[in-house]
Amino acid sequence: MRLVLLGPPGSGKGTQAAVLAGDLGVPAISSGDLFRSHAVAGTDLGRRAAAYSSAGELVPDELTVSIVAGRLAEPDCRDGYLLDGFPRTLGQAGLLRDRLAAAGMRLDGVLELVVDEEEVVRRLAGRRTVVDGVEVVRDDDRPETVRRRMQVYREQTAPLSEFYEAAGLLTRVDGNGDVPEVSARLLRVVPRTPRPSPR
């Protein structure tokens, strides 16, 4: 199963991705976590990505696609994965579709968490994140950066909802409420059988 979980910052995507991936028996792949691990390890890629992330901006598509594609080529992704935070632009979505098609594959579904903006801002205030076993407050969870991330989401990522709807892949799920409630809604609708192959 190859799935995408869409949703704005603070929609609970990371938490729900872990629940869903566990249930489906596939790895959850978070582009944000990949960038943070590189940053903690002090790699050149990590430094380049952090310059964008700490300002609430998106990392350029080529850099993002190359790091995610590298991760998806690892053996644990052979039978599928749940993507969390990727794709985030129409450009990335097109590149993902083309790369999958070139390998005779395609996505099986996209779930979108729909959350009220006040709930998102409330959740992000004071959020703690674990990076390589250490609990930190993310630079990009500061209030002014959160506002910029929301704006970036509306402008660059929200259009993916229509893109995937047009492809017949999208299911919208109410993301308001507590974690178990939202998990239960997602688990009710998550696709469990792969779509037939294109050929």
186 phi, psi to nearest 5 deg: -65, -45
Question: Which lies closer to ligand AMP via its Cβ, residue 55 or residue 114?
Answer: 55
For the segment 57-96, give every residue that binds ligand AMP (CB under 6 A).
57-59, 64, 85-88, 92
Question: Which lies closer to ligand AMP via its Cβ, residue 149 or residue 185?
Answer: 149
Strand ranges, E, within the chain: 2-6, 28-30, 81-84, 109-114, 129-131, 134-136, 170-174
Site string for ligand AMP, 126-165 (x = CB under 6 A): --------------x--------x----------------
- Is position 188 annotated as part of the catalytic site? no
Nearest 5°: the CA angle 20, 25, 30 is 55
In order, the DSSP letters of 142-167 are SHHHHHHHHHHIIIIITHHHHHHHHT
Question: Known catalytic residues?
Answer: 13, 88, 127, 138, 149
Point out which residues bind ligand AMP (CB under 6 A). 9, 30-32, 35, 52-53, 57-59, 64, 85-88, 92, 140, 149
